[in-house]
Amino acid sequence: MKEIDPKVYKKHHSFQDFKSHKTGIIEYQKGRAVRVLNEWSMGTLVTNHPVQEKENFKDTLNRVLSDLTSTSEEVLFKITPFIAEEMYTYSDEELLRFFYHRYRYDVFPQLEMLDHYPPYLQIEPSSICNYRCVFCYQTDLNFFKKTTPGMGQMSLELFKEIVDQATNNIEFLSLASRGEPLLAKEIEGMLVYAKDKFLNLKVNTNASLLTESKVHALLAGGVKTVVFSADAAEEPLYSQLRVNGKLDKVLKNIEMFQNIRQKEYSSVPIITRVSGVKVTEKQDMDSMEKVWGNLVDQVAFVNYNPWENIYEAKPNGQTKACSDLFRRMFIWQDGLTNPCDSDYRSTLQMGKFPEKSISELWRMERYEGLRAAHKSGNRQIVNPCKGCAVV
């Protein structure tokens, strides 16, 4: 089935196709951003959020303003269609926080910079999944068994501890990783606890387990982005790619989500997206847009990356550092932390939360050693990094 085999996978720019209902949004939001940042620099717009007290807050916003007003094409920070659409969900005051954290997310990896917290935190409510997608590491049946150590669901207590440390320090988080988050028994309690604590909390789900109760939990105000993972808009291709999945059930569930959203949460600033992994030329963006376009705000394909066989992959000669080492950290359902999810067996694990704090884990010696190997062009001595295409 797989026909696409990338030699380099730019994870930060992994959208192959991205379609939104809005048009002309980049120039509009760029003008708005410049206005907001100028008002901030003149003191007429302020934020009372603790972010303003953070190290380099003022310098970072000045850098954002400089890049957005520059005529050069070589600037580090740009407003993309993806960022522009997200900006619609923020007030002017929230944009100050957004630009500070977005700059850390976008630019720090380019400069291989770090501070005390990861720009992005990925939390795994469940390592177990009900699908066996052909492009996913869940196809490793020798690893992904309920009886395998490390497989299970995150407790609400552990989730609360993570959220408490992340609040006011990390603004971009995802509830997703190796498994299906809606399989977590306490997922609704997690969503309730995270409400109003972050600029963007994203949930990725295959949508097969959506219920009315879960839809209300997703729409109640804590989640900013809901990504429904679907790689096709027709059978049998959908179930060939998303093994164990049924397109008619998923379609019905997303229709239910949209109906509840329109009737009861029309004023909630949330973005919905159907996103698929492009693994074969049989997948068609026009058919995706036709089926899903009226049910969500965005439809996209991301580039395929061979996650499912990283431990068998041959050394590829890649010497460029992985951007995720400077962008995100993963906390598995049992508290174990990892620098990426390509390494789903955690051979690179960095320690356990809450035995060490998020900040301690992010800057611990083992992590810094891995970054040093990548920065010096020596990722080929690190397993499984030597066979990974992510940069």
The model's pLDDT over 245-259, given as tens digits with 9 standing for 90+, comes to 999 999 999 999 999
Give the tokens for residue 367. Answer: 């992590």
Q: Where are the alpha helices (DSSP H) in 195-273?
A: 212-219, 237-241, 247-264
Question: Cα(17)–Cα(47) distance, rounded to whole angstroms?
Answer: 35
Fold annotation for 11-16+116-387: TIM Barrel (3.20.20)
Q: Is 341 left (phi over 0), alpha (psi -120 to 50) or beta?
A: alpha
What is the residue whose two structure tokens read 């320090």? 169
β-strand pairing of 298-303 with 351-352: unpaired
Confidence of residue 5 (pLDDT cuts 50, 70, 90): low
* Residue 243, pLDDT above cutoff 60: yes
| Residue ranges of the chain that CATH labels 3.20.20.70 | 11-16+116-387
Long-range contacts of residues 254-259, Cβ cutoff 8 Å, at least 24 apart: 254/207, 254/210, 254/228, 254/292, 254/295, 254/296, 255/295, 256/210, 256/212, 256/215, 257/207, 257/210, 257/215, 257/218, 257/219, 257/226, 257/295, 258/295, 258/296
β-strand pairing of 172-175 with 120-123: parallel
What digits encode the pLDDT tens for the residues 267-318?
Answer: 999 999 999 999 888 998 999 999 999 999 999 988 888 777 789 889 999 9
Q: Which amino acid is at 23?
A: T
What digits encode the pLDDT tens for the residues 335-356?
Answer: 999 999 999 999 999 999 999 9
Question: Cα(167)–Cα(70) distance, rounded to whole angstroms?
Answer: 33
What digits encode the pLDDT tens for the residues 267-281?
Answer: 999 999 999 999 888
Question: Cα(108)–Cα(112) distance, rounded to whole angstroms?
Answer: 6
Question: Cα(274)–Cα(288) distance, rounded to whole angstroms?
Answer: 9
pLDDT value at position 145?
79
